[in-house]
Amino acid sequence: MNQRCYNCFTLVVLLAFSIPLAAQIPDGYYARAEGMRGAELKSALFRVIREPAVLSYTEIWEAFEATDAHKNDKVWDIYSHEPRGGGATDGFDFRQHRCGSIRKEGDCYNREHLFPRSWFRGTSILESDLFHIYPTDGYVNNRRGNLPFGEVGIMNWESTNGSKIGQNTFGGYSKTVFEPIDEYKGDVARSYFYVVTAYEDHLHRWHSDQLGGDRYPGFSKWSLDLLLKWHREDPVSLKEVRRNEAIYRLQKNRNPYIDYPELVECVWGSSDSSLFCQEAMSDSFRAIEYSPFERWLERVKSLIWIR
C-alpha cells in the first residue's frame, strides 16, 4: 500500500471514530464577521445572531431542564448555588419548585432576566431570550430587583452562596449594585456582551446606568471595564459551553463570546486592533468539551491532510 493510500485509509478510520465528536459551531456560521474588529465586528456579529427563534415565556420553564440542569438533575441556580457545597438548598426540582409565593431563600426558583425588564421596555423578543434568562432562587432574585451588577464594598445583604447587595466600589460608580459570586461573574459578563450585540439596534431606546445609549460600545465606561474584568478573570466553563449548545438547539442562535472568548477582546478589549479570524482562535467547544483523545484525533487528522 503506497503512502497516499495508507493516509486515505487512516483518515477514513479516524473519521469513523470522530464523526460524533465534530465541533458544534456550524461551518460558516461566523463567516460574515471574518476580518473585522471593533464596532464593525460587533455589527457583523449582530447580523449573525439577531432575531432568535425564542420560545414563549411559559415554555422557558421546561427549557431550563435542557439548559440549566446540574449533575443531580436539579436546577443550576447561579444566585444560591455554592460550588464548594452548602447553600440554601440541595437543589430545586424543575417541576415542583417553580415559584408561587416566596418567603425566604431556598423556597423556590423563578425566571431571572439578567438584563432587567425595566431596562428594555419595548423589545418583546428579549423577554424570552434564554441567553440572559437563568433559573435563580426567587427570594434572591426579588432582592436584586433591577439593580445593576457591580462589586460591593459596603454590604447591605448577602445570600447563602455569597452573592451581595451594597454600594459599588468599581469604576467611580457609587450606587447600589448586586454582585454574584466569582464563579459566575464571567457567565454574567458574556450574557451582557451577547445582549448588547444581538439587540444593538434597540440600545438607543433602553435605559440603565450600565448602558451607554449607542450601538458601540453599548455600555457605560465603568460597566464595560467591569464586564471585561469579569470576563478575563472567570473564563468560559463547561457549564457555559453546554448551555450555549442547548440554547442553540432551542432558539437557533449562539453566543459568539462563549464560542470564541477572544472575540470580546477583538470587539472591546486590548486586542481591538486585531482582526477576527476563526482559524487563529480556539473555540470553547474544542478547548473544553473535547477529551484528550478527541484533541489527539484532531491533531492526527490535520497531519494526514498536510501530508
pLDDT tens, position by position, 270-284? 765 689 998 888 788
Cα-flanking dihedrals φ and ψ of residue 27, to 5°? -55, 130
Residue range 198-246, pLDDT digits in tens: 999 999 999 999 999 999 999 999 999 999 999 999 999 999 999 999 9
- Is the CB of residue 89 less than 8 Å from the CB of residue 80? yes
Give pairs for 60-64: CB < 8 Å, separation 24+.
60/111, 60/128, 60/130, 60/133, 61/94, 61/98, 61/111, 62/94, 63/130, 63/250, 64/94, 64/111, 64/135
Inter-helix orientation angle 292-306/3-18, to 10°: 150
Element (H, E) at 263: helix 262-267
Judged against a pLDDT cut of 90, whether residue 256 lies above it is answered with yes
Compute the distance between CA of residue 275 and CA of residue 266 in angstroms, rounded to an integer: 7
**pLDDT for 271:** 63
CA proximity to 149, closest of 260, 56, 223, 235: 223
**pLDDT for 290:** 56
In this prediction, residues 183-212 reach a mean pLDDT of 97
Residue range 37-73, pLDDT digits in tens: 999 999 999 999 999 999 999 999 999 999 999 988 9
CA proximity to 197, closest of 253, 153, 142: 253
Cα-flanking dihedrals φ and ψ of residue 149, to 5°? -85, 150
Q: Where are the domains of the chain?
A: 1-22+290-307, 54-254
- Specify the 3-state DSSP secondary structure of 207: coil
Judged against a pLDDT cut of 50, whether residue 306 lies above it is answered with no
